[in-house]
């Protein structure tokens, strides 16, 4: 039942708080990993499991959120998820070794994984159908701000406090959100009775999706199929997912109702949601590394650089919501969003070693516009034909596809970067010979520079060789990253003609789904 007056806006603030908890914690930890390594004596490989464990927990719980809400009541499950997230955050901050921290990070992911889907379902029922476009845009503000604030907030806390405060800041927000949920949120009016527990479905889901996420997160650092446990998990994932699909289609009371995929708009929309996750997360993954490792930006500088992009998205989203309310085709708006993302990546593909912060403002503005035109319209396409009682299942599956798309995108992009770095380095090394005039000129310049600073001839030659080595590394890295940006952009552009010809339900209610 739609709410009126101040109550609906209180509920909107509540779900934004809940969503911010989950979204910010997806990225806030990354910049603090070096400090965590030093404080608790962990290796780089060990702290990487802090990211993996959270992602695995998220992707497992997302498709189950609708069933759990139906089983225990949406309000109760919502409040429990935030409490679990908050308690796990406190435990993370008090961890004394890496594996304690990994375990509590996993529990944090279990609590956080449900927050987006539940927030979306609550907001969907809070607003009247004719108000949902604007409501979705408002909700999207919090979701867009989260990834923008995450690295910036993490960098600030790391520089001025200690790493446990990255987790402690969740506690007051979590307590406030829990109180507000208990006081203002109602259970869904479109309830589905759950008579039994699909234990086999749960086991196969956890096994299949969990194994797949670990393979995607850890595949590249472990040299993919050169590592035995990656091979085993790949086989387990394939068998688990096949078994899961078979079980859910055969069960009378499945934990994930895959039958709703008979609705063509949802099935097609989920494919494009996967594509969005693939390209968006891949490009966002590459950009901070490019800025920090190659151009020398700090984590905080990189995060601050993303803020104008987030502001543009905030300004665009209400316009998008209004256009959808007036019946503008969501597939056309999404196609425009993909084109804007292509322009963003195309401009980044022309970056060079002298690029500064000012060179990225315009490309990032295009990214902000693209995001504003992608989130809400794509979700409108996906969920336009889903019934109210299946909305939690639909939003959960849609979010899972975005998460998996992002994991695939990052995994493939990381592998691409590693391979192309080697390729470009080998090609550049072929130019280092006494018959190459540009090389001789550059080498002589380095040598004369060191001689002028008082070094002996042997020392000058040694330092010139090191300088040439650094130049080759920077050039090969630049060529690799600009290629990566271009490929992601072309991938988005190829989706446009396919998307334009997709059909969306006419006069469909605008659901809430963004991440």
Closest CA to 510 of 131, 139, 117, 16: 131
- Can you give the pLDDT at residue 191? 55
Mean pLDDT by 10 residues, the chain (515 residues): 66 78 72 72 71 77 77 82 91 86 88 78 69 62 64 72 83 87 72 64 80 76 77 87 81 72 75 78 72 74 75 80 77 86 88 82 87 78 68 72 76 79 80 70 75 75 77 84 85 79 52 41
- Can you give the pLDDT at residue 511? 43
Matching residue, tokens 């502001």:
311
- Can you give the pLDDT at residue 88? 92
CATH 2.40.420.20 correct for 1-188: no
Report yes or no: 409 and 281 within 8 Å, Cβ to Cβ.
yes
Give the span between the Cα atoms of 515 and 513, in whole angstroms. Answer: 7
Give the span between the Cα atoms of 225 and 229, in whole angstroms. Answer: 9
DSSP string, 210-259: HHHHHHHHHTTTTTGGGSHHHHHHHHHHHHHHHHHHHHHHH-SS-SS-GG
Q: Would you kindly state where each structural domain of the chain is located, as residue ranges?
A: 1-188, 199-254, 271-515
- Can you give the pLDDT at residue 35? 73
Domain boundaries 271-515, corresponding CATH code? 1.20.1250.20
Domains 1-188 and 271-515 share a fold: yes
Q: Which two tokens stand for residue 296?
A: 């020398």
Rounded to 10 degrees, the C-alpha dihedral 300/301/302/305 comes to 120
The CA–CA distances, whole Å, from 102 to 16, 24, 49, 97, 141 equal 27, 18, 6, 9, 30
Give the span between the Cα atoms of 182 and 488, in whole angstroms. Answer: 43
pTM of the shown model: 0.71
- Can you give the pLDDT at residue 90? 92
- Can you give the pLDDT at residue 388? 63
Give the span between the Cα atoms of 165 and 209, in whole angstroms. Answer: 31
Helix-then-strand count for the chain, H and E: 20, 0
Report yes or no: 302 and 288 within 8 Å, Cβ to Cβ.
yes
- Can you give the pLDDT at residue 91? 92
């Amino acid at each position: 039942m739609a709410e009126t007056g101040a109550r609906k806006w209180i509920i909107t603030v509540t779900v934004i708080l809940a969503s911010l908890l989950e979204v910010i914690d997806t990225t806030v930890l990354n910049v603090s990993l070096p400090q965590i390594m030093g404080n608790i004596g962990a290796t780089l490989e060990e702290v990487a499991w802090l990211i993996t464990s959270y992602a695995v927990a998220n992707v497992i719980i997302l498709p189950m959120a609708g069933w759990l809400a139906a089983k225990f009541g949406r309000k109760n499950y919502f409040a429990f998820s935030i409490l679990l997230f908050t308690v796990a955050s406190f435990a993370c901050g008090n961890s004394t070794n890496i594996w304690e921290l990994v375990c509590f990070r996993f529990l944090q992911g279990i609590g956080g994984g449900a927050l987006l889907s539940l927030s979306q379902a609550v907001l969907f029922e809070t607003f009247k159908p004719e108000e949902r476009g604007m409501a979705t845009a408002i909700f999207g503000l919090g979701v867009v701000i989260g990834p923008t604030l995450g690295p910036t907030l993490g960098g600030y806390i790391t520089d001025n406090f200690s790493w446990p405060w990255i987790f402690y800041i969740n506690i007051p927000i979590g307590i406030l959100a829990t109180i507000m949920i208990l006081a203002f949120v109602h259970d869904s009016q479109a309830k589905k009775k759950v008579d039994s527990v699909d234990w086999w479905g749960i086991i196969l889901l956890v096994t299949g999706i969990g194994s797949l996420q670990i393979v995607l997160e850890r595949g590249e650092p472990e040299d993919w199929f050169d590592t035995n446990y990656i091979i085993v998990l790949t086989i387990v994932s394939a068998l688990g997912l096949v078994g899961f699909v078979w079980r859910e289609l055969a069960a009378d009371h499945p934990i994930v109702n895959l039958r709703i995929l008979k609705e063509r708009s949802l099935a097609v929309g989920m494919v494009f949601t996967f594509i969005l996750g693939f390209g968006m997360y891949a490009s966002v993954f590459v950009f901070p590394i490019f800025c920090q490792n190659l151009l020398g930006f700090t984590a905080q500088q990189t995060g601050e650089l993303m803020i104008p992009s987030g502001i543009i998205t905030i300004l665009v989203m209400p316009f998008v919501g209004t256009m959808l309310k007036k019946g503008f085709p969501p597939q056309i708006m999404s196609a425009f969003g993909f084109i804007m993302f292509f322009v963003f990546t195309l401009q980044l593909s022309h970056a060079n070693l002298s690029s500064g912060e000012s060179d990225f403002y315009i490309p990032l503005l295009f990214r902000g516009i693209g995001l504003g035109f992608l989130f809400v319209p794509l979700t409108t396409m996906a969920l336009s034909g889903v019934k109210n009682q299946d909305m939690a299942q639909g939003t959960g599956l849609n979010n899972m596809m975005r998460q998996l798309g992002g994991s695939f995108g990052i995994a493939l992009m990381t592998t691409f970067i590693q391979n192309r770095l080697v390729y470009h380095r080998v090609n550049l090394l072929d130019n280092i010979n006494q018959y190459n005039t540009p090389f001789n000129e550059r080498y002589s310049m380095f040598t004369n520079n060191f001689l002028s600073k008082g070094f002996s001839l042997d020392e000058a030659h040694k330092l010139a060789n090191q300088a040439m080595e650094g130049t080759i590394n920077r050039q090969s890295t630049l060529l690799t990253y600009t290629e990566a940006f271009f490929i992601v952009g072309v991938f988005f552009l190829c989706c446009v003609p396919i998307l334009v010809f997709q059909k969306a339900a006419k006069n469909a209610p605008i659901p809430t789904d963004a991440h």
